[in-house]
Amino acid sequence: MSIKAHVPPQSHSSKEYELHVPVLLDATLELLTPQKGESYLDLTAGYGGHAEAFLEETGNFADSALVDRDEYAIAHLERFAARGVSLLHTDFVSAARELIAQQKKFDIVVVDLGVSSPQLDQATRGFSFTKPGPLDMRMDRSQTTSAETIVNTYTVDALERIIIKYGEEQRGFARRIATGIVENRPFSDTKQLADMIAHLHRGKWQKIHPATRTFQALRIEVNQELAQVEAVLPLLPSLLHQNGRVGVISFHSLEDRLVKQFFKEQAQAGFEAELSLLNKKPLDGATYDVHNPRARSAKLRAAVKK
Per-residue pLDDT, 140: 82
Do residues 253 and 298 lie in contact, with contact meaning Cβ atoms separated by under 8 Å? no
**pLDDT averaged over the chain?**
88
Burial 57-89 (b: 16+ CB within 10 A, else e): bbebbebbbbbbbbebbbebbeebeeeebbebb
Which residue segments constitute the domains of the chain, with CATH numbers given? 14-118+227-305 (3.40.50.150), 125-223 (1.10.150.170)
- The three-state secondary structure class of 106 is strand
Q: Return the beta strands (E) in 14-101 as ranges.
A: 40-42, 65-68, 86-89
Higher pLDDT, 21 or 19: 21
pLDDT greater at residue 114 or residue 106? 106
Is 68 labelled a binding residue? yes
Rounded to an integer, the average pLDDT of 157-182 is 97
Burial class (CB in 10 A: 0-12, 13-18, 19+), 187: middle
CA atoms within 13 A on the CB side of 4: 7
Average the pLDDT over 155-179 and give the result: 97
Least confident stretch, 6-10, 217-221, 278-282: 6-10
Question: Is 92 marked within a binding site?
Answer: yes
26 is in an annotated binding site: no
Residue 70 phi/psi, 5-degree rounding, is -90, 120
End-to-end CA distance of the chain: 23
Confidence of residue 117 (pLDDT cuts 50, 70, 90): low
pLDDT value for 13: 39
Residue 262 assigned as binding residue: no
For residue range 229-270, list pLDDT tens digits in order.
Answer: 999 999 999 999 999 999 999 998 999 999 999 999 998 888
pLDDT (0 to 100) of residue 20 = 61
119 a known binding residue?
A: yes
- What is residue 15's predicted lDDT score, i.e. its pLDDT? 44
For helices 171-184 and 190-200, the axis angle rounded to 10 degrees is 130
Give residue-wise pLDDT tens across range 132-151: 789 998 988 888 899 999 99
Cβ neighbours, 10 Å, residue 262? 20
Q: pLDDT tens-digit profile of 200-226?
A: 997 777 778 999 999 999 999 999 999
Which 3 state secondary structure label does DSSP give 32?
helix
Q: Decide if pLDDT at 300 tops 80.
A: yes
pLDDT in tens, 22-38: 999 999 999 999 999 99
**Residue of 53, 60, 168, 163 whose CA lies nearest to 112:** 53
40: nearest Cα among 26, 24, 52, 27: 52
Strands 283-284 and 299-305: antiparallel
pLDDT at 19 over 70: no
Single pTM value for the model: 0.85
48 is in an annotated binding site: yes
- How far is 58 from 56, CA to CA, in rounded Å? 6
What angle is formed at CA 70 by the lines to CA 68 and CA 74, rounded to 5 degrees?
A: 65
| Residue 125 clears pLDDT 90, i.e. is over it | no
User: 35 a known binding residue?
Assistant: no
Residue 61 scores a pLDDT above 50 = yes
